[in-house]
Amino acid sequence: MLRCFAVLTALLCLSTPLLASPPGVLWMQRLDPSALPKGLEALPRSAHSSAAGYCLPLSGDQNLGQLLLWERFPDLAAALATAPNAPALNNARLQSGAYTELGTEGLASATARVWQVQVPVADYAPFLEAIAALETALRKDGHDFHAVVLSPAGTGVQDAGGLQLWALSPNGAAAGAVVDAYYAGAPWGPAWDAAYGYFKAVDSDVFLQCHPLPTDPR
């Protein structure tokens, strides 16, 4: 609790705005697929969200067998106003919370490598600049790559006080090619190292396969 309060206080005390434009907010829920009322083909979504999707784990040791359902809202106020009226999920929900997009939005159909990391709040702005520079360098080198940084709120012990970095590629082969290229001496290697240098700790590192939900599942 004290750690989360310190993060919030530091964000409020930044002398310059962290974001150039209002961020979106993702409301995420970790679910037990076996407990869903109608299975994967009928995942519920709010009528007020602008986009939605789900992700299944490809690797890792903590959340195998779980499903991550996400919905995008314009801000935290809208997400929290909608949450109490979300469609019933019986006993499927294991964890939920809000994640503010720092910088760009972009969760969609993709293979995602997701790090849960600790970055000092004073370094948030240069960290986001380093991620943007890395994304530009990867794209210049021919990789279809997109990075999203998420800041959690009300998500419970698992994600408290840290950030999530999502590295998105169109499929598994493209995601693997990024890592292979780095170890082969890619020209953007220094940009990767510069961004990684802001990590004070890495709490988890997993691959997910993500899919969009249709606007109207009927």
Nearest to 52 by CA among 80, 89, 25: 25
Q: What are phi and psi of 125, to 5 degrees?
A: -60, -50
The dihedral of CA 66, 72, 77, 83: what is its sign? negative
pLDDT of residue 1: 38
Domain boundaries, the chain: 2-212
State the average pLDDT over residues 38-63.
79
What local confidence, expressed as pLDDT, does residue 194 receive? 97
Residue 109 CB contacts under 8 Å (≥ 6 apart), including other chains: 53, 170, 210, 211, 212
Contact (Cβ atoms closer than 8 angstroms) between residue 166 and residue 114:
yes
Whether pLDDT at 142 is above 90: yes
Burial of residue 23 (CB within 10 Å: 0-12, 13-18, 19+) is: buried
Map residue 180 onto helix, strand or coil.
helix
Give 40's pLDDT tier (boundaries 50, 70, 90).
low
- Rounded to whole angstroms, how far apart are CA atoms 119 and 28? 21
pLDDT reported for residue 62: 66
Counting Cα atoms < 13 Å in the Cβ hemisphere of 80 gives: 9
pLDDT of residue 98: 87
Largest CA distance in the chain: 50
What is the third-level CATH fold of 2-212?
A: Alpha-Beta Plaits (3.30.70)
Average pLDDT, the chain: 81
List residues bridging with 68 in a β-sheet: 30, 55
Percentage of the chain modeled with pLDDT above 70:
78
Which residues contact residue 199 at a Cβ distance below 8 angstroms, ignoring those fewer than 6 apart?
115, 117, 118, 119
Name the band, by pLDDT with cuts 50, 70 and 90, for residue 21. very low
pLDDT of residue 13: 38
**Out of 19-33, 61-75, 106-120, 172-186, least confident range:** 19-33
When pLDDT is averaged across residues 100-109 and rounded to a whole number, the result is 77
Given a cut of 50, whether residue 136 has pLDDT beyond it is: yes
Check residues 66 and 169 and name the one with the higher pLDDT: 169
Q: Write down the pLDDT at residue 209.
A: 93
CA atoms within 13 A of residue 136's CA, in its CB half-sphere: 8
